[in-house]
Chain A
Amino acid sequence: MSESFDEFYAAHFGTLVAQLRAGTGDLAEAQDVVQEAFCRAWTRWDRMSGYDDPVAWVRRVAWNLAVSRWRRGRIARRYAQRERVEHVEGPDAERLDLIAALATLPTNQRRAVTLFYLADMSTIDIAQDCRVPESTVRSWLRRGRLALMEALGGPLQEVDRGSVR
């Protein structure tokens, strides 16, 4: 049993970390939540190994862990903000890379965009994963693309904005 788990781990750890890095914006955080998800997967591996797509389970757990950590962090950040003077930095186009741009998206859009581009999932699969109608996923993707292109700035210039309807 451990052999199949080890192979499953080796096959998917890296790609899942890439997806969670896009979702969390932090490589170490991504590795932590993916490792934790694999750890939980091992406790039910006798059942999971029979799943059609066990990686979907691990991905969902990792995402949920990341979101829950982010919420805890947001509470802490809000408390910290009340305790200090806030300094707002001016816009710096050089720092706006893809991960920073992703961080500006709402969680649902970020998850949809990440699963679409990094997990190579279809809109139907994403809809099942997120338990929403497919039309909602398409909407998230469109808004996500638009927001990303605006945030990225540089690549946006390659696009003919005049055609946007």
Chain B
Amino acid sequence: MDRFDEEADKVLRRLFANLREETVVLVRPPGALAARRSAERRYRDRLLAFAGVFALLLAGAGGGYALTGERAAPAPGGQPSASPTPSPRSGEGVPSLPPTGSSASSGGGAGASVGPADGPVPPGLRVESVTFIDVDSAWALGFAPCLVPQQWSTCPAVVRSRDGGKTWAGVPAPGHAAAYLGDIRFATDKDGWVVARAPVVPSDPGAVTGALYATHDGGSTWAKVGLTDPVLRVETSGGRVWVSTGTAGAARHAIYSASIHSDTFTKVTDASGAELALHGAYAYVYGTGTSLVVLRNGGTTTTRSLPCDPDHRSTVLLAVSADQSVAVLCGGAPSGGDQDKAVFTSTDGGATWAAAGTPDRAGQAASLAATTTDIFVAGVGMPVRARGADGTWAAVPLAPGPDGGFGFVGFTNDTHGVALAIQPSNGLAQTTDGGRTWTQRLPGSATGS
């Protein structure tokens, strides 16, 4: 190198270092999983194309040999049959090959999945809602710093797991909107809903309130559902999706229902509460009063009374473990981080109630879950507490992190459950043995044994 080369070399090294630094920050890798899946999809497509061509060649060259090897019967007039084997249509394989793409069911690995291609989990994700359709397939809704520059800094995020929560991948989130607080629910691997209850930062230009989004292709695309009033809750069970609408804290709310395959919602009833708890064909609607509306098979309405006395109506939580097996927690006014809590159970859909003990006063209850044997309470400033078959209440081995508690606990069946730590960590913990042991899955501060 002469002097010019050396000087130019110095300048260019600096400029290229800047370019590398700037580019690495901007890069958004679609992910190794996406690369692997694309490669595997192409391989399958090539196989299908080859099989299709082979079948056509057989049909044409053989002048009517079916794939079974038997000669096709001549057409009237002694001419060979013109089309003994149909060529595969889009989305269909030839008969000897397994189904592909959207015609397959969930849970069978990359080739059998439906929905969008997986991307990376957004850095800084905070999970606020999670839903399992079975012990393997789950979606979680949260928010994270926007990957693409927007007028707002935090964007909604949805992640998907196909292995029971062991690994997660990023998938499209509904709404071109700033991050919102809300819930996600899926009924099948295709049909799901997200309610955007309120914006995380109300002053954000992209803030949304009370919006309901639906997908019927596994989350590849989301459409906003047109409901007049703001949506507060969404739940799904028994082939139907239920939403409550109105203003949070208002005295009256409307309850709508639709088939999981449709976005046409029908108003079912008015109710004083907006909270929903479902099992099978039963929907329970409640609020902070004592009114419990029981809806059966999408329409038949019965009104029951909750057993919460006037001193224990600050927090009312309901959980359903079977069609008519219901648990309710009645919480008193919080005082210095403590709260009186009383739990009751019913096995006749709320017609009669039996006392089920009083969990420790420490902490404020936020979520209730029930299996056929146990009841679980999660809340702020408390560990998750469980009432076992022996009727005693005890903390499960899932200690709250420094943020101090869990905003949600829920069970897919008697053994598989999930708990969400409250902000700022929003960690997700899971159990597969009915709550005896818990494992931390998504980033967070909660610790389990």
Contact = CB atoms under 8 A, between A and B. Distances in A.
Contacts of A38: 32, 35
B224 to A, nearest CB: 28
B300 interface: no
A80 interface: no
A153 B61 CA distance: 68
A14 B29 contact: yes
B24 interface: yes
A75 B33 CA distance: 34
A39 B31 CA distance: 10
A22 B27 contact: no
A161 B26 CA distance: 35
Contacts of A35: 29-30, 34-35
Interface residues of B, number: 32
Interface in A141-164: 142, 145-146, 148-149, 152, 155, 158-161, 163-164
Contact of B38 (A2, A10, A39): A39
A42 B35 contact: yes
Given A117-B16, A155-B15, A142 B5 contact: yes
A39 B35 contact: yes
Give the dominant DSSP class at A's interface. helix
A148 B13 CA distance: 12
A164 B2 contact: yes
Interface in A110-165: 113, 117-118, 142, 145-146, 148-149, 152, 155, 158-161, 163-165
B27 A145 contact: no
Most B CB contacts (10 A, CB to CB) among A18, A22, A30, A146 go to: A18
Nearest to A102: B19
Contact of B39 (A42, A98, A142, A164): A42
B16 A98 contact: yes
Nearest to A149: B8
A94 interface: no
B14 to A, nearest CB: 8
A164 B27 contact: no
A142 to B, nearest CB: 6
A13 interface: yes
Contacts, number: 102
A43 interface: yes
Contact of A145 (B8, B23, B28, B39): B8
A5 interface: yes
Contacts of B9: 145
Contact of B12 (A21, A30, A148, A160): A148
Contact of B4 (A14, A15, A99, A159): A159
A158 B19 contact: no
A9 interface: yes
Interface string B15-57: 1101110011011111111111011001100000000000000
A149 B247 CA distance: 64
A31 interface: yes
A49 to B, nearest CB: 13
Contacts of A9: 29, 31-32, 35
A159 B11 CA distance: 9
B3 interface: yes
Q: Which 9 A-B pairs have the closest CB atoms?
A: A9-B32, A117-B16, A18-B23, A163-B3, A6-B32, A159-B7, A164-B4, A155-B11, A38-B35
Interface of A: 2, 5-6, 9-10, 13-15, 17-18, 21-22, 27, 30-31, 35, 38-43, 98-99, 113, 117-118, 142, 145-146, 148-149, 152, 155, 158-161, 163-165
17 contacts: A2-B36, A9-B29, A10-B29, A13-B29, A17-B27, A18-B19, A30-B23, A39-B38, A41-B35, A98-B16, A99-B19, A117-B16, A146-B4, A149-B11, A155-B11, A161-B4, A163-B2
Given A6-B33, A14-B23, A27-B23, 4 more contacts: A2-B36, A35-B30, A160-B3, A160-B4
